[in-house]
Structure 1
């Protein structure tokens, strides 16, 4: 058998080790010809060429609009719910960064994400770690295979044992919401004409500051009891920024930085503050929610939630200045991050709120 690129061996070669190896290098079973006969499929040229090059551990800085996706994490074998990682893996294969079989078994490329964002949640600074072939113009080639609302904004080499989830010290999220969410429950003002006063903004920040420190957040997620040690979480900072107007709506952005967060935790933290400011619950309910008692906490809509950035302070102190590795601070990519938010994240949040009225609907249910 003389293997020829683009054709399959159509007769039995002499059964020698050399010929078996030669055919195996070029063939990949599983293709079906139009007449129904099984044919042999050939691996892409770039996959054969890259076999000779060792993969390198890198991190990718990602930004994406989560609307229309069932979260970040991929569910291999399930095509019912599309995720951000589905798009990323397809792009990595298409660009020639990983072999096709790594797409089905992501552990083969040591894949890990910093944060597992939920359905509809966007990110401006998600970071994933994985092993890839470092092809020329790698970031540009990956982006060629991604939709415009998902971008790779940066790439850096990291240590061989780096794990983006375990090496992450903290995560910062933002939550953009219309300020009428803080309108008193018996107030008659139209939602669109409501403007947040300095007094109310101060009240909001007073309540948000209560979350700072280590607390038992078992009431802010599902399937965790008050004695589960994993329900204790450390919040470093939480505040609401001054409001701004866009698209006829007044909006505000809440920022929260914490060591790690559980599912729905941030949305419930904000939902409870809204309930207190509007007058549906007393201020004391916040501290009561950290006790053993079961407290029913409202969950704010997911639309405005964005993973802003992830922090690697310990890694940067240990490896960032060793002369061999780069610091994971992404200062040079800051302008790209801001541009992506202005083009893809903020417009989606604002337009969806105006059209679908998710906050308005939630407040009336």
Structure 2
């Protein structure tokens, strides 16, 4: 019984300890809060007593200053009445106080005549014009050029333009050596060797102080087959390559190239309606998104960049030029790879001539293996138009920038 009683007593003590600890904590918190309240009350009492004592000591001085201000205000009001001037403020203590504060504020101000004169800016040199984003609208004949992009020891369109910019003092030697890094030189489309352009756009950083003088200077240095149509200012982030909505290429194909029979004279041949219809059917196979791996070079079989979107492709009615019949082929697409358009037209010519079966289109688009697709000559290929409709609508029309439209140069492009 003693053992069980002592055990129960220990258990009771263990059960009682949390209650006692909780009670002690409550007393401690209550005591701390009471001490803080008493200390705060003591501070407030001392502050209030100090303010009261300060006001009691300063009250005679304040009353004296108040009487002096009232006397000065009455004297000034009397002088103004004798002079016939109306009183601006009524003779009251509040008006006197406001007038005194105003005079005190004015007396503290530094006179303007004591300020040191600003240094003259007439002797400083004028700031150079800040470079902006400029676009050169131009056209050229691709005959005699090894393409658009500059190449060592090769005549190119880009090289001829940069040479004229350097010779005219429009760019420096560093910009000439690295035009893309230091000049932001970007072309809208890279034409192949022998390919001409009726609409080409180049963007670069230039102050464009006098666009007309820049155009005249470049045209005086360029050959007659290379013309700069206009120089306009564009937005800061404008990119001539990625801002273009679609590109239109034209290929002028002589109709005798579509005839498989030996001809006595190419000038005497006129294309038959069935053969022209067959050509238009072949061109109708291109619109849409397709894999053009077999229509380019230097790409891998599984390269996703070979997928390109063609908006439209068609053939116009034949026409005569110097007694020779031609047919104009138009191809509109978002972007093109190297030799793509020339191989597209070469495959159409081979199928119309009967050298390839019509099933060659399906085999070329399947891209399961490399096929030998014929390539048309580059002499008849022409970059016809660049479509910047979205830029003209969003920026040129709303923000006042010049439109990028080659229709206004119709007479020069004839």
Given the alignment of the two structures, is residue 90 of structure 1 paired with residue 163 of structure 2, yes or no?
yes
Aligned with 2:141 (options 65, 71, 74): 65
CA contact (8 A) 2:316 2:327 kept: yes
Aligned with 2:235 (options 153, 159, 167): 159
Shift of the 218–81 alpha-carbon distance from structure 1 to 2, 3 Å rule, reads same
Write out per-residue CA displacement over residues 166-194 of structure 1, whole angstroms, 9 at most, x where no aligned residue.
212211111112111110x2455533311
Q: Give the Å deviation of 1:84.
A: 0.9
Aligned with 1:248 (options 307, 323, 327): 323
| More moved, 323-332 vs 110-119 | 323-332
Aligned with 1:236 (options 307, 311, 336): 311
> Normalization by structure 1: what TM-score?
0.74
Shift of the 160–186 alpha-carbon distance from structure 1 to 2, 3 Å rule, reads same
Q: Give the Å deviation of 1:101.
A: 2.6
Structure 2 residue aligned with 1:327: 403
Q: Give the Å deviation of 1:99.
A: 2.4
Instruction: Note the residue ranges of structure 1 that are not aligned, 5 or more in a row.
Output: 1-48, 339-365
Structure 2 residue aligned with 1:112: 186
Aligned positions, number: 286
1-side partners of 2:315 and 2:253: how far apart?
10
| More moved, 286-295 vs 249-258 | 286-295
Structure 1 residue aligned with 2:381: 305
Aligned with 1:198 (options 254, 258, 273): 273
2-side partners of 1:142 and 1:223: how far apart?
35
Report the structure number with the largest CA radius of gyration. 2
SS in 2 for 1:321: helix
Q: Give the Å deviation of 1:162.
A: 0.8
Q: How does 1:127-138 map to 2 (within 5 A)?
A: 127-136=201-210, 137-138=213-214
Given the alignment of the two structures, is residue 273 of structure 1 paired with residue 344 of structure 2, yes or no?
no
CA contact (8 A) 2:246 2:333 kept: yes
Structure with the bigger percentage of strand: 1
Structure 1 residue aligned with 2:244: 168
Q: Give the Å deviation of 1:65.
A: 0.8
Runs of 4+ in 1 over 6 A off after TM superposition: none
Instruction: Note the residue ranges of structure 2 that are not aligned, 5 or more in a row.
Output: 1-124
SS in 1 for 2:217: helix
CA contact (8 A) 1:244 1:252 kept: yes
Q: Give the Å deviation of 1:154.
A: 1.6
2-side partners of 1:50 and 1:282: how far apart?
71
1-side partners of 2:368 and 2:244: how far apart?
32
CA contact (8 A) 1:97 1:133 kept: no
1-side partners of 2:344 and 2:381: how far apart?
12
Q: How does 1:32-51 map to 2 (within 5 A)?
A: none
CA contact (8 A) 2:294 2:364 kept: yes
Shift of the 101–323 alpha-carbon distance from structure 1 to 2, 3 Å rule, reads same
Structure with the bigger percentage of helix: 2
